[in-house]
Amino acid sequence: MSFNDPIAELLTKIRNAKDVRHRYVDISYSKIKVKMLEIMKHHGFVENFLVNEQTRKIRVFLRYTKYRETVIHGLQRVSTCGVRQYIGYRDIPRVFNGMGIAILSTPQGVIDGETARNLKVGGELLCTVW
């Protein structure tokens, strides 16, 4: 199944998989998805992910607690295809008082909100994860 918005596809598939407590989910490949997954892995929201070059798929392994509760509580797409949300570095939101992350597309690439604040660079607010 093909989507017009690859970021919304990534977030929706992860949201659906975590709701039914799947161990992993397969997603179609794109560079921006890989970069977003690297950020989520770095911050501990995703256990791991594997990229298969032949089938052009990404297998995302979701992270759970010892009692099989998901680490990701919410994913929200902020900037959509119809309404882009551009913000300066002073306006980058602190998601759940630092417990979550904001992912931005900046001139320095796709980075998390804290890094963008430290680099003093703004951009398009793609999504928030908590």
Instruction: List the domains of the chain with CATH numbers.
Output: 6-62 (3.30.1370.30), 75-129 (3.30.1490.10)
Query: Token pair for residue 14?
Result: 């992860």
- The pLDDT tens digits of the residues spanning 68-121 come to 999 999 999 999 989 999 999 999 999 999 999 999 999 999 999 999 999 999
3-state secondary structure of 8: helix
Q: Which amino acid is at 49?
A: F
Kindly give, in sequence order, each residue whose CB lies less than 8 Å from that of residue 65, ignoring residues fewer than 6 positions away. 71
Alpha helices for 20-124 (secondary structure H): 31-42, 113-119
- The pLDDT tens digits of the residues spanning 23-65 come to 999 999 999 999 999 999 999 999 999 999 999 999 999 999 9
- Do 25 and 72 meet the contact criterion of CB atoms below 8 Å apart? no
- Do 104 and 39 meet the contact criterion of CB atoms below 8 Å apart? no
Considering the entire predicted model, what is its pTM?
Answer: 0.93
Query: Token pair for residue 51?
Result: 């990229």
pLDDT at 1 over 60: no
| Residue 106, number of CB atoms within 10 A of its CB | 15
pLDDT at 2 over 60: no
H/E segment holding residue 27: strand 24-28
